[in-house]
């Protein structure tokens, strides 16, 4: 239990000014715009504060209170709200435990969700028009005894789906912390205790980072609720010493799928509106493994999770054309869908607003002492040129021994082979995955990392970087061969990849590790110019400028098949690509 000074508790039972209320609302970062320089995407806390003050005045008035009337919120068919409390006092349910994320060396974001509960002696639903008040405390003590390092209070309401996100500040670098939320009106009503940490100062010598112990990153991607339980999250939380949990995209899926047979049916419909995205995030975060992982340490995430095959002007099934707006009964077009997804993601994830003058920016850098820079890119939402949308190209081409007798070897009519459209665009010199503003920032960040003496550069991004197929075309002359033609990955943006590799080589920036997800398979490869036999030796790795580790999915189905035998997995993985260094059969590299 957290012991809070009494005067703090008294503050919230008698609100006297709109300004005081607004301050407490604004401390909850979930109300803010996901794009700091675009205030139109924020929740208007001043209007909410006015609503709360009106409640307070009615509550203390000696005159008969008139029926509740609010220009922004429903009156529930004439219901009388004259006795509504200023803040909710009927109890709170911490429905999704706690989480933390985006740690700096002196601060970290703390997150929870607290939903009002109905009094035990009534069946009446909680009043949705008033806020809940939460206190938080962060300490180096696991039981939170003694003076906390930082404390504070903030409001949440149904305007942000009852989520609360605050920044704990004044912390010591490279330190483990414990934190908890409580109900301002009842200090014995508390959340679970979460664990988090700060990063070391940028100038901390590499050998002193994390007290001289190795620092462990638990890396995830592609968790589909209906495909299975999120045991990978739980394993990392309970059986590893991970200091940071890193997610590389597809944290949620917009599609429904079919999980009824295992009791994992997704709620709702294909995601389009803010309600849709909130509901899906809510359901995913009920998984015990995911709850445990968020409870166990700070998360660093990327990819705003809009929909499959996202690019700057659409997805696989949506865009801003008349036809592209018909994917959902809501009639939402791509732009509205994207804003809805980002709004919900901002509320539900412990992620910071990166800059005040750039919409949608999620790319950012974390300096972890002089041991490494963790550079998070956005290769999906920010400014990506058109990608493989399924109807403009095929994604995978297979010829496996179990299928050889089914098709003529050279018959591409029965095997998805790429058309020329995306494959032709792939080599265009001005084609970009990141947009040129982000690309320039990325190159500068790599140079600054080397200049400041960081030992490693770790790049977190969504899709496989390494070339998986030399030509990018379908060639089925080799039996027992799996030809991957994934033009949604960096193979579809070959000139952009060449610019990255060229910058690394020209500036002699080594010790670079690229982390990837998306493919639902494990890959390990050297970073080198494709088909370069003069600088790079694929047998020894000599001449490589770095390495890539692309991780498999949490639950999403593999392109290599589901529940196949080890022998069949061997046949598929050994022939997947000539630079493959490790395969999926052991689940680790």
Domains, the chain, ordered by start: 1-198 (2.60.40.380), 396-430+463-586 (no CATH)
Q: Average pLDDT in the 537-548 region?
A: 92
Looking at residue 509, its pLDDT comes to: 97
Looking at residue 538, its pLDDT comes to: 86
Looking at residue 21, its pLDDT comes to: 55
Percent of the chain residues topping a pLDDT of 90: 50
293 contact partners, CB below 8 Å, separation of at least 6: 218, 233, 234, 236, 237, 245, 299
Does 54 or 293 have the greater pLDDT score? 293
Looking at residue 517, its pLDDT comes to: 94
Question: How many C-beta atoms lie closer than 10 Å to residue 216's C-beta?
Answer: 15
Q: How confident is the model at residue 400 (pLDDT cuts 50, 70, 90)?
A: very low
Instruction: Determine the Cα–Cα distance for residues 256 and 201; give it in Å rounded to an integer.
Output: 44
The tokens describing 493, both together, are 């943006």
> Tens digit of pLDDT for each residue in 340-361?
999 999 999 999 988 766 667 8
Q: Average pLDDT in the 103-119 region?
A: 94
Instruction: Determine the Cα–Cα distance for residues 550 and 62; give it in Å rounded to an integer.
Output: 67
Q: What is the pTM of this model?
A: 0.81
> Tens digit of pLDDT for each residue in 139-171?
999 999 999 999 999 999 988 999 999 999 999
**Hey, what's the torsion of the CAs at 278, 279, 284, 290, to 10 degrees?**
50
Lowest mean pLDDT among 103-117, 119-133, 489-503, 528-542: 119-133
The tokens describing 186, both together, are 């009842």
Q: Average pLDDT in the 73-83 region?
A: 31
Write down the mean pLDDT value for the chain: 79
Full DSSP string of 540-584:
T-TT--EEEEE---SSSPPTT-SS--HHHHHHHHHTS-TT----G
Sheet with 217-220, strands from edge to edge, namely 163-168, 108-116, 92-101, 299-301, 244-247, 217-220
Looking at residue 479, its pLDDT comes to: 39
Lowest mean pLDDT among 9-13, 247-251, 258-262, 326-330: 9-13
Q: Does residue 173 carry a pLDDT above 80?
A: yes
Q: Does residue 12 carry a pLDDT above 70?
A: no
Report helix angle 274-284 to 334-348, nearest 10.
40
């Amino acid at each position: 239990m957290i012991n809070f000074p009494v005067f703090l508790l008294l503050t919230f039972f008698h609100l006297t000014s709109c300004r005081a209320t607004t301050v407490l609302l604004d401390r909850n970062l979930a109300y803010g715009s996901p794009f700091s320089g675009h205030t139109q995407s924020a929740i208007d806390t001043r209007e909410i504060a006015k609503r709360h003050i009106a409640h307070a005045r009615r509550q203390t008035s000696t005159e008969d209170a008139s029926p509740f009337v609010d220009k922004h919120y429903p009156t529930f068919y004439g219901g009388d709200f004259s006795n509504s409390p200023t803040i909710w006092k009927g109890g709170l349910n911490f429905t999704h435990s706690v989480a933390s994320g985006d740690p700096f060396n002196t601060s970290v974001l703390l997150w929870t969700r607290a939903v009002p509960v109905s009094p035990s002696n009534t069946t009446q639903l909680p009043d949705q028009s008033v806020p809940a008040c939460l206190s938080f405390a962060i300490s180096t003590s696991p039981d939170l005894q003694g003076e906390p390092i930082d404390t504070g209070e903030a409001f949440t309401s149904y305007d942000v789906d009852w989520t609360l996100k605050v920044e704990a500040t004044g912390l010591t670098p490279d330190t483990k912390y414990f934190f908890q939320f409580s109900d301002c009106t009842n200090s014995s009503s508390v959340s679970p205790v979460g664990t988090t940490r700060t990063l070391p100062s940028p100038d901390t010598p590499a050998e002193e980072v994390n007290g001289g112990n190795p620092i462990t990153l638990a890396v995830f991607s592609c968790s589909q609720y209906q495909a299975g339980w999120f045991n990978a999250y739980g394993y990392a939380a309970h059986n590893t010493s991970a200091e940071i949990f890193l997610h590389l995209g597809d944290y949620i899926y917009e599609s429904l799928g079919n999980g009824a047979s295992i009791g994992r049916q997704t709620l709702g419909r294909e995601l389009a509106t803010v309600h849709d995205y909130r509901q899906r995030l809510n359901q995913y975060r009920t998984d015990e493994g995911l709850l445990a992982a968020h409870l166990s340490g700070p998360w660093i995430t990327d990819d705003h999770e809009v929909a499959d095959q996202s690019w700057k002007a659409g997805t696989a099934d949506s865009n801003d054309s008349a036809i592209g707006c018909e994917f959902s009964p809501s009639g939402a077009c791509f732009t509205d869908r994207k804003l809805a997804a980002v709004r919900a993601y901002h509320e539900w994830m412990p992620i910071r607003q990166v800059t005040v003058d750039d919409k949608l920016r999620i790319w950012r850098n974390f300096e972890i002492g002089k041991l490494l820079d963790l550079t998070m890119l956005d290769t999906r939402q920010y400014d990506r040129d058109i990608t493989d949308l399924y109807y403009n190209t095929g994604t995978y081409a297979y010829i496996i021994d179990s299928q050889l007798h089914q098709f003529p070897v050279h018959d591409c009519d029965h095997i998805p082979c790429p058309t020329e459209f995306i494959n032709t665009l792939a080599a265009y010199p001005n084609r970009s995955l990141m947009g040129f503003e982000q690309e320039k920032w990325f190159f500068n960040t790599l140079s600054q990392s080397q200049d400041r003496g960081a030992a490693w550069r770790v790049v977190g991004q969504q899709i496989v970087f390494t070339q998986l197929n030399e030509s990018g075309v379908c060639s089925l002359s080799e039996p027992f061969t799996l030809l991957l033609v994934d033009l949604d990955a960096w193979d579809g943006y070959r000139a952009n990849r060449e610019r990255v590799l060229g910058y690394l080589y020209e500036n002699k920036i080594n010790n670079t590790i690229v982390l990837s997800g998306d493919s639902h398979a494990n890959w390990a490869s050297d970073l080198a110019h494709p088909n370069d036999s003069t600088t790079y030796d694929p047998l020894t790795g000599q001449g490589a400028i770095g390495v890539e580790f692309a991780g498999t999915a949490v639950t999403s189905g593999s392109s290599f098949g589901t529940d196949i035998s080890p022998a069949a997995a061997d046949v598929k993985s050994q022939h997947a690509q000539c630079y493959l260094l490790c395969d999926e059969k052991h689940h680790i590299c």
